[in-house]
Structure 1
Amino acid sequence: MAAPAGLWAEVRALLPGAEQGLTLALSGDVEDCVRLLLQRARGLLCGAAGRPCAATAAQLRRLGDVLRDYSWEKLNAGPWREVGKAWRQVYAYGCLFGALAEVAAGRPLAPAVRLCDMGLLMGASVLDNVLARLVRVLQAHLPRAERRGPAAGTAEVRPWGGPAAGTAERVRTDHPSPVPVVQLEDALPHLQCPSLEHFRDNYLIPQKPVVLEGIMDHWPCMKKWSVDYFCQVAGCRTVPVEVGTQYTDEEWSQKLMTVSDFINQYIVNKNSMGYLAQHQLFDQIPELKEDISIPDYCCLGEGEEDDITINAWFGPEGTISPLHQDPQQNFLAQVFGRKYIRLYSPQDSENLYPHESQILHNTSQVDVEDPDLVKFPNFRKAAFQSCILMPGQVLFIPVKYWHYVKSLDISFSVSFWWS
């Protein structure tokens, strides 16, 4: 069955019209045979007048498979930082040609959406980030039920925070765990919309953590975002999920799954513990990025706005980020749910017993809420500050400040790392 003419025209309009315009430029060297495969796929795509016929679509699909399989081996041959950008671009082209072949052949669109997501996650941008533009078109043409993914559970409740969290959710309703007590002498200070100068002089320069209030009240996410909203906007999208309570656990792992499957398995039914910790979510799903704003205080940093890393943290009650430190300043913005957060100064690093291994050198060996003081006796010397971060609050975590984070409810946070 051929693709509907309107959909194919909409998809084809995302690409250059002529073969010479589809440059296939690569940022590095790859084998000549790979370049020939790319050129052959380009020729099939651009050589057909109108929609490719079934035979041409099948050839394009096979070429996409070969390009993805070959480059996938290169992507997984060693440490990710050593993977050449050219091979990530080849993988993105393989995903692009595969997705286009699915559309041209009139196949169901969900596999094409997944191919786009795989290219966005594992590949590098090609043709002015065409995969991000393509997936938005495809998602709009999916049947409504497929856009959301499988239906979620049965119990209707709201995340902590009431109306600010959005519409009613279908999530589990078991008893929440006890909320840690924040003693007055340990409580972090709170500020209501401080001026740039006041924040700079009293918190940024002296590197003191503080909870900021009122600075994200105008963000659209505060009225729109909810578990149900994510199913509507991104239910069919494939994302990486961290499986396990915390990344230091032996059983911790990562896997790819759709947002709706993640919500059903880890949020609604909670068959096990899983967390969506995504450094690319807002690039992968721009609709979500439009609902947040970079805090104005980031302009006090040394880098440009493009240098700011925006991360998404979405998971059930009980997920934990063990005591660790990050190499940049951090604004942690709480959209819905509550988090218990404990902070320790970098001056106390020796009392926090960082792991000796290079890969975990920024993480403490100590279980903050149940420390083994026989094994880690100096931990009792470390002074800390803490807070229950509520929806609409933003925590400033200075660079290298140790922080422990525990979700007290179904929670969605956005962090901004800046220099």
Structure 2
Amino acid sequence: MELNLEQIPREKTLSKKEFLHKYFKPQKPVVIEHFIEDWPAYSKWDFDYIKEIAGNKTVPLYDDRPVRHDEGFNEPHAKMKMRDYVDLLKREPTKYRIFLWNVLKEVPMLQKDFKYPDFGLRLMKGLPMLFFGGSDSHTFMHYDIDLANIFHFHFEGKKQCILFPQSETKFLYKIPHSLITREDIDFANPDLEKWPALKHAKGHVAQLEHGNLLYIPEGYWHHMKYMTPGFSMSLRAIPRKPRNFGKAIYNIFFMRHFDNLMRKMKGQKWIDWKNERAVIRTHRLLVEKWR
């Protein structure tokens, strides 16, 4: 038995009016296949180009090890020169990923290669972020702290994206006081006997290739798996729904700091308690659903 995932709709291209009517207002994801072919990035951005212009930069790397109490928020697991990291990606599979690498701050000349699309949303122009990964590396299932609308542009290789709306959170084994699900769930190939609530979650899936744009509606859970080495860039717009905006404020100004404080006070016991509560809460809701 597999996850209940429907293919994300694919469009060749979309006007602003079509995007707002068909996808933004109903908050539905979409893949736009040919939207950026007039960007210089479409023909220029590959590993060799990144290595050439950013090879000297030291980059933060993350793998798929579970969260530990003594690690800070988004603290990297390793660091490496970009040229060495690109060589590693091209040479062999690796779990090391780069995420939230600020293009404007790190390599300002890259901003000449792309445009901020006009989809009728005000994009946060100071926050274009790059993400890199090797074959079979993946993110944990998570949603972003600010519940932003995300425009995710993919370059090089292939990437699988699994999405769930916030309405499915009750089935996903969400960790309390956190933005992730249980880290021992492989959403690309889940054990549905061990994690039975996942059978009831209704989500979306798409495979991205070079030049594809994925719109991720605000607050959507997402799991990204690199089928081959590749990289992506995300542009963001603040959530428009008052409930999501309120959640974002709570996450940024309270939840994150509360969680860090509890890690310092209780150590690994806090992490273990949260992991246990994720299962207890999810299975309790599952029982109530079938009463």
Q: Which residue does 1:83 correspond to in 2?
A: none
Q: Using the TM superposition, give the Cα deviation of residue 278 of structure 1 relative to its aligned residue in structure 2, in angstroms.
A: 3.5
Q: Does 1:268 align with 2:90?
A: yes
CA distance in 1, matches of 2:105, 2:168: 36
Q: Using the TM superposition, give the Cα deviation of residue 273 of structure 1 relative to its aligned residue in structure 2, in angstroms.
A: 2.5
Larger helix share, 1 or 2: 1
RMSD after superposition: 2.5
CA distance in 2, matches of 1:396, 1:304: 13
Q: Using the TM superposition, give the Cα deviation of residue 305 of structure 1 relative to its aligned residue in structure 2, in angstroms.
A: 4.7
Q: Which residue does 1:279 correspond to in 2?
A: 101
Contact map agreement 2:39 2:113 (CA 8 A) in 1: yes
Q: Please give the secondary structure, in 2, of the residue aligned with 1:321.
A: coil
Matches within 5 A, 1:73-84: none
Contact map agreement 1:241 1:262 (CA 8 A) in 2: no
Q: Does 1:367 align with 2:147?
A: no
CA distance in 2, matches of 1:218, 1:416: 17
Where do 5+ consecutive residues of structure 1 fail to align? 1-180
CA distance in 1, matches of 2:41, 2:3: 28
Q: Please give the secondary structure, in 1, of the residue aligned with 2:104.
A: helix
Q: Please give the secondary structure, in 2, of the residue aligned with 1:391.
A: coil
- Aligned-pair identity in percent equals 26
Q: Which residue does 2:20 correspond to in 1?
A: 200
Q: Does 1:416 align with 2:235?
A: yes
Q: Please give the secondary structure, in 2, of the residue aligned with 1:262.
A: helix
Contact map agreement 1:341 1:386 (CA 8 A) in 2: yes
Q: Does 1:378 align with 2:197?
A: yes
Q: 1:321 aligns with which of 139, 158, 162?
A: 139
Q: Using the TM superposition, give the Cα deviation of residue 374 of structure 1 relative to its aligned residue in structure 2, in angstroms.
A: 4.0
Q: Deviations over 1:212-271 (max 9, x none)?
A: 1221111111211222222211111222222x2x3646699433321112223x313448
Q: 1:256 aligns with which of 51, 54, 79?
A: 79
Residues 1:321 and 1:378: Cα distance change in structure 2 (over 3 Å): same
Q: 1:239 aligns with which of 45, 59, 63?
A: 59
Normalising to structure 2: TM-score of the pair? Answer: 0.71
Q: Which residue does 2:130 correspond to in 1?
A: 312
Where do 5+ consecutive residues of structure 2 fail to align? 239-291
CA distance in 1, matches of 2:161, 2:153: 12
Q: Please give the secondary structure, in 1, of the residue aligned with 2:17.
A: helix
Q: 1:221 aligns with which of 17, 29, 41?
A: 41
Q: Please give the secondary structure, in 1, of the residue aligned with 2:77.
A: strand
Which has the larger displacement, 325-334 or 254-263?
A: 254-263
Q: Using the TM superposition, give the Cα deviation of residue 207 of structure 1 relative to its aligned residue in structure 2, in angstroms.
A: 0.4
CA distance in 2, matches of 1:249, 1:318: 19
Q: Does 1:292 align with 2:114?
A: yes
Q: Which residue does 2:151 correspond to in 1?
A: 331
Residues 1:305 and 1:373: Cα distance change in structure 2 (over 3 Å): closer
Q: Using the TM superposition, give the Cα deviation of residue 416 of structure 1 relative to its aligned residue in structure 2, in angstroms.
A: 0.9
Q: Using the TM superposition, give the Cα deviation of residue 198 of structure 1 relative to its aligned residue in structure 2, in angstroms.
A: 1.4
Amino acid at match of 1:314: F
CA distance in 1, matches of 2:23, 2:217: 9
Contact map agreement 1:283 1:289 (CA 8 A) in 2: no
Q: Does 1:399 align with 2:218?
A: yes
Q: Using the TM superposition, give the Cα deviation of residue 338 of structure 1 relative to its aligned residue in structure 2, in angstroms.
A: 0.8
Amino acid at match of 1:406: K
Q: Does 1:348 align with 2:163?
A: no
Q: Which residue does 2:32 correspond to in 1?
A: 212
Q: Using the TM superposition, give the Cα deviation of residue 295 of structure 1 relative to its aligned residue in structure 2, in angstroms.
A: 2.0
Which has the larger displacement, 400-409 or 255-264?
A: 255-264
CA distance in 1, matches of 2:81, 2:112: 21
Q: Using the TM superposition, give the Cα deviation of residue 345 of structure 1 relative to its aligned residue in structure 2, in angstroms.
A: 1.8
Residues 1:271 and 1:349: Cα distance change in structure 2 (over 3 Å): closer
CA distance in 2, matches of 1:182, 1:348: 12
Q: Please give the secondary structure, in 1, of the residue aligned with 2:53.
A: helix
Q: Deviations over 1:358-382 (max 9, x none)?
A: 2xx2211132133243443211001
Amino acid at match of 1:309: L
CA distance in 1, matches of 2:171, 2:35: 34
Amino acid at match of 1:284: E
Contact map agreement 2:154 2:211 (CA 8 A) in 1: yes
Larger radius of gyration: 1
Q: Please give the secondary structure, in 2, of the residue aligned with 1:322.
A: coil
Contact map agreement 1:343 1:386 (CA 8 A) in 2: yes
Amino acid at match of 2:110: L
Q: Which runs of 4+ in 1 moved over 4 A?
A: 249-253
Q: Which residue does 1:389 correspond to in 2?
A: 208
Q: Please give the secondary structure, in 1, of the residue aligned with 2:199.
A: helix
Contact map agreement 1:182 1:387 (CA 8 A) in 2: no
Amino acid at match of 1:209: P
CA distance in 1, matches of 2:86, 2:202: 37
Q: Does 1:191 align with 2:11?
A: yes
CA distance in 2, matches of 1:322, 1:394: 21
Aligned length: 228
